[in-house]
């Protein structure tokens, strides 16, 4: 039987706060370093505040809590990852979300990006192809109080299910896994004036984080921004 003293919650909380402070500073530095590609040398105060509020240690895989605030992706099982925090911040910033916006997320994963979107005031409709991830993510988000989120298991290539026709169009769409080309259904479900952020490219190809916009007339514009490496987008 161990005689070690019980863990000190306050000590752990202080350590997490320090690690999160370092992470936010790294995200700010990354934004400056990649500004030539993204056009965003500084992320909005709302995005940085959301990144500070979401407890990332709640969303990493078991045993990875000590590295939760490292600025790198981490495996969450089933061939999926929780994205690098800088990429989460960048994609969130590129969406230009306003409170009350309806956002479609393709690829819930563990729910980390979902939580950041909710912190920004969005109503989030999130789809996850892997049912074994969708259920725990839904429970986790509910436990943490993110009550403006819906999580379903579904095939993101088809967009939000047709049997729920009152939902689209969306003000913004975010895709957290890479298809080779933009799914037509997602373009159709993006509202006029809306923005979509999606990584495009195959597993063994150079992928590009891509910003897709639809103007008031319905004209769609696509702009590749930054080389990235995402897991492939899969079907259910």
What pLDDT does residue 78 have?
84
What pLDDT does residue 3 have?
56
Q: Which of these, 193, 228, 192, lies nearest to 210 by C-alpha position?
A: 228
In terms of Cβ atoms closer than 10 Å to its own Cβ (0-12, 13-18, 19+), residue 85 is: buried
What pLDDT does residue 86 have?
97
For 165, residues 6+ apart whose C-beta sits below 8 A from its C-beta are none
What pLDDT does residue 62 have?
83
Catalytic residue among 2, 44, 75, 83: 83
**Apex 50 CA angle, 206 and 231, nearest 5:** 25
What pLDDT does residue 2 have?
46
What pLDDT does residue 11 have?
56
Helices 85-94 and 45-53, packing angle to 10 deg:
140
Q: Is 75 considered catalytic here?
A: no
Parse the chain into domains and list their residue ranges: 9-228
SS3 content of the chain, % helix, strand, coil (to 5): 35, 25, 40
Half-sphere exposure in the Cβ direction for 199 (13 Å, CA): 24
Residues of the chain with pLDDT under 70: 1-12
In this predicted model, what pLDDT tens digit does every residue of 94-103 receive, in sequence order? 999 999 999 9
What pLDDT does residue 1 have?
45
Fold held by 9-228: Rossmann fold (3.40.50)
Half-sphere exposure in the Cβ direction for 118 (13 Å, CA): 22
In this predicted model, what pLDDT tens digit does every residue of 100-127 receive, in sequence order? 999 999 999 999 999 999 999 999 999 9
């Amino acid at each position: 039987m161990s005689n070690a003293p019980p863990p000190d919650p306050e000590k752990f909380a202080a350590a997490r706060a320090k690690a999160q402070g370092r992470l936010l500073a790294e995200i700010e530095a990354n934004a400056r370093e990649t500004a030539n590609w993204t056009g965003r040398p500084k992320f909005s105060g709302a995005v940085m505040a959301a990144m500070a509020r979401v407890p990332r240690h709640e969303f990493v895989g078991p045993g990875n809590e000590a590295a939760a605030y490292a600025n790198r992706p981490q495996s969450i099982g089933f061939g999926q990852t929780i994205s690098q925090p800088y990429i989460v911040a960048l994609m969130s910033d590129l969406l230009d979300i306003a409170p009350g916006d309806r956002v479609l997320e393709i690829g819930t994963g563990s729910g980390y990006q979902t939580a950041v979107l909710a912190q920004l005031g969005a109503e989030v409709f999130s789809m996850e192809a892997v049912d074994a991830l969708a259920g725990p993510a839904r429970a986790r988000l509910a436990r943490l109080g993110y009550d403006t989120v819906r999580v379903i298991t579904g095939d993101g290539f088809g967009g939000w299910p047709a049997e729920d026709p009152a939902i689209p169009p969306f003000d913004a769409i975010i895709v957290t896994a890479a298809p080779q080309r933009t799914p037509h259904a997602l373009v159709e479900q993006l509202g006029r004036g809306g923005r979509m952020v999606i990584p495009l490219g195959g597993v063994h190809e150079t992928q590009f984080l891509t910003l897709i916009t639809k103007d008031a007339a319905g004209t769609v514009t696509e702009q590749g921004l930054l080389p990235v490496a995402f897991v492939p987008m899969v079907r259910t």
